[in-house]
């Protein structure tokens, strides 16, 4: 797993990159009540705003961590946004991307680096 400074995690799976937010981010957000997902097939560039996530406290965005195409979104989250608080590292992934250039992930933090980052 790789981690961004925006508290996203990235997991490589069958040539795709699965993206979610960390436990730390989910805790900071508080109870998530609404999620707006991007359209499948959308081409995105790193740092594009792709997901809107609203907690009881506020709205925030999730940015595309790398360039690529959104190939699948987790529709289950739309009906059950609370999953983000229950299982942020597992079932509550947001989208899967076909990366344009996986080397963009090289400089990202690993788990130990992320733990240092949030401590």
Partner 1 sequence: MSDLKETPLNALHHELGAKMVPFAGYEMPVQYKLGVMKEHLHCRAEAGLFDVSHMGQVIVRHPDGFEGAARAMETLVPVDILSLEDMRQRYGFFTNDEGGISDDLMLARRGDHLFVVVNAACKKDDIAHMRANLSDCEVEEITDRALLALQGPSAETVLAGLVPEAAGMRFMDIAIVESDFGELWLSRSGYTGEDGFEISVPDANARALAEALLWHDAVEPIGLGARDSLRLEAGLCLYGHDIDNTTTPVEARLTWAIQKVRRRGGEREGGFPGADRILAQIENGAERVRVGLSPEGRAPMREGTDLYADAEGGTPVGQVTSGAFGPTIGAPMSMGYVPLNLSAEGTTLFGEVRGKRQPVSVAKLPFTPANFKR
Helices assigned H by DSSP within 59-100: 76-79, 83-86
Least distance in angstroms from the C-beta of 32 to partner 1: 9
Does position 71 interact with partner 1 (CB under 8 A)? The reply is no
Q: How far apart are the C-alpha atoms of 20 and 57, rounded to whole Å? A: 20
Q: Comparing C-alpha atoms, which of 89, 90, 108 is closest to residue 99?
A: 108
Among 5, 12, 40, 59, binds partner 1 (CB under 8 A): 59
Residue 79 vs 106, nearer CB to partner 1: 79
The contact pattern for partner 1, residues 12-51, with x = CB under 8 A and - = no contact, is: ------------------xx-xx-x---------------
* Shortest Å, Cβ 109 to partner 1: 25
CA pair distance 84, 22, nearest whole angstrom: 9
- Residue given tokens 């993206």 in the structure block: 19
Q: Could you tell me if 68 and 100 are in contact, meaning their C-beta atoms sit under 8 angstroms apart?
A: yes
Residue from 12, 13, 56, 75 binding partner 1 (CB under 8 A) = 56
């Amino acid at each position: 797993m790789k981690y961004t400074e925006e508290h996203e995690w990235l997991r490589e799976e069958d040539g795709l990159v699965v993206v979610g937010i960390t436990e730390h981010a989910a805790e900071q957000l508080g109870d998530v009540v609404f999620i707006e997902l991007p359209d499948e097939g959308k081409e995105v560039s790193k740092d594009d705003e792709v997901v809107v996530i609203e907690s009881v406290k506020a709205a925030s965005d999730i940015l595309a961590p790398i360039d690529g195409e959104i190939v699948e979104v987790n529709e289950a989250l739309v009906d059950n946004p609370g999953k983000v608080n229950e299982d942020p590292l597992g079932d509550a992934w947001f989208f899967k991307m076909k990366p344009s250039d996986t080397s963009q992930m090289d400089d990202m933090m690993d788990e130990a680096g992320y733990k240092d980052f949030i401590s």
